[in-house]
Amino acid sequence: MNGVLILLPIALLLGLAGLAAFFWALRNNQFDDPDGAAARILIDEEEDGAA
């Protein structure tokens, strides 16, 4: 029971932190271009000098 009393607030806080992070991302327009974000990882940065 004592363990639960410590673990419960920790679990809830961590969850809330996740939720807060999501809201932060939402407010910073990180969900504006899901397709672009998925494709961007494929862009080869080294190509820059050669091109």
Partner 1 sequence: MNAARQITEEHTSVLAVPAMHCAGCMSKIERGLLRREGVIAARVNLSSRMVTVTHDETVDENDLTRFIAEAGFEAQPRRRQAERPYSAVKPLLAPLAVAAFAAMNVMLLSVSVWSGAEGSTRELFHWISALIALPAIGFAGRPFFKSAWGAVKRGTTNMDVPISLGVIIASGLSLYETWVGGQHAWFDGALMLLTFLLAGRVLDAMMRDRARSGVEALVSQAAKGAQVVGADGTLTYLAAEELQPGMVMRIATGERLAADGEIVSGSSKFDQSLLTGESRPVALAQGEMALAGTLNLEAPVDVRVSSAGHDTTLAEIARLMEASTQDRSRYVRFADRAARLYAPAVHSLALLTVVGWLVAGASLYEALVIGVAVLIITCPCALGLAVPVAQVVASGALMRAGVMVKDGSAFERLASVDRALLDKTGTLTLGRPVPDAVALAALSNEEAGIALALASHSRHPLSRAMAKALATRGLAPVALENVVERAGEGVFATSHGRAVALTRPESSGTTAVLLRTGDGADRLIPIADTLRPDAREAIAQMRGQGIECSILSGDTARAVAAVAHETGLTAQANARPEDKQALVGRLRASGHKVLMVGDGLNDGPALAAADASIAPGSASDVGLQAADFVFVQDSLSALPRTVQVARRTMQVVKQNFALAIVYNVFAVPLAIAGLVTPLIAAVAMSASSLLVVANSLRLVRAAK
Q: What is d(CA 51, CA 48) in angstroms, rounded to the nearest whole number?
A: 5
Cβ(31)–Cβ(25) below 8 Å: yes
In single-letter form, the type of residue at position 27 comes to R
For residue 8, give both structure tokens. 């419960």
**Residue in 1, 3, 28, 46 binding partner 1, rule: CB under 8 A:** 1
Using CB under 8 A as the criterion, what x/- string covers residues 15-34 for binding partner 1? xx-xx--xx--x----xxxx
State the residues that interact with partner 1 by CB under 8 A: 1, 4, 8, 11-12, 15-16, 18-19, 22-23, 26, 31-36, 39-44, 47-48, 51
